[in-house]
Amino acid sequence: MADELTHLDERGAARMVDVSAKAETAREAVAEARVVMQPATLRLVLDGAMPKGDVIAAARIAGIMAAKRTPDLIPLCHPLPITGASVAFEPLGEDTLRIEAAVRTTGRTGVEMEALTAAAVAALTIYDMCKAAEKGIRIEGLRLLEKRGGKSGDWRAAEPPQSSPR
């Protein structure tokens, strides 16, 4: 296991991984999060009727900006030339908004952290814009769905986790 922890040196100290010997390849990662709220709150979001404004538009921009700023937030992440980032939203049932963030680059390391950060910050933005209407909103299921490219190849997550009951 210790041999697999690439962010630790031989003494166990944290380090940034040297990726200079890796080939530049096309890479993509997709992550998701779910925001669970009362049906009335979700309806306000979907109808664009939240008093703070267009929740979806604000969360989309926040997620894209977060992907670009990931190395400023996660200490050992490499700054990457992101070539594309998107954040999409989908209602699930009457009380859940699913967020899917996709990030692309051509580089020497993957964009998994950028996709996860985009989904997380989009979810936090939804909470921020809706907290006046409902304090009990939950953010759940932040996870990597898939990654493509790089030495380790492609990877896809198993079936999505089930939402916990309210």
Torsion over CA: 137, 118, 109, 149 (sign): positive
* Kind plus residue range of the DSSP H or E element containing 130: helix 112-130
| Residue found by looking up tokens 């604000």 in the block | 58
Query: Strand, helix or coil at 7?
Result: coil
Q: How far from 6 is each of 9, 19, 96, 131, CA to CA, in Å? A: 7, 11, 36, 39
Q: In whole angstroms, what is the distance from residue 136 CA to residue 36 CA?
A: 9
Q: Under 8 Å CB-to-CB from 66, ≥6 apart: which residues? A: 73, 117, 118, 120, 121, 122
Question: Which two three-digit tokens encode residue 112?
Answer: 């998994």
User: What positions carry a catalytic annotation?
Assistant: 128
